[in-house]
Structure 1
């Protein structure tokens, strides 16, 4: 089962159109899509990092060349 990264509910449970818009525009994920645990999120001027205690870290990593 996968979960919504914005609201933490199962992907099949509700319409997540609003959540997808939030995630696509500016907001980092708040919940782990694998286990629905609340993630520790840090936002910086250059992006964000979100860390799940069980599944590790994801980032908005922008490559700077």
Structure 2
């Protein structure tokens, strides 16, 4: 498991900027938990989205 802040789009460590990932996150929900790097369960509806990490809970968009 990755320790430290991770990218919500690709799940890699944030040791440098991820400009493409930032663009993608502006249009879609995160796929990875930014705290632990785990893959999240993502549910998208016509109005919003929810992304759930088993350790850190749910983000709503």
TM over 0.5: yes
Q: Can you give the 5+ residue segments of structure 2 that lack an aligned partner in the other structure?
A: none
Larger relative CO (CA 8 A, sep 6+): 1 or 2? 2
Structure with bigger gyration radius: 1
Counterpart-to-counterpart distance in 2, 1:36 and 1:6 = 10
Q: What is the aligned residue count?
A: 58
State the 1:15 CA deviation. 3.8
- Which segments of 5 or more consecutive residues in structure 1 lack a partner in the other structure? 61-65
Structure-2 residue corresponding to 1:11: 14
Whole-angstrom CA distance in 2 between matches of 1:34 and 1:43: 21
Task: Please tell me the root mean square deviation across aligned C-alpha atoms, in Å.
Answer: 0.8
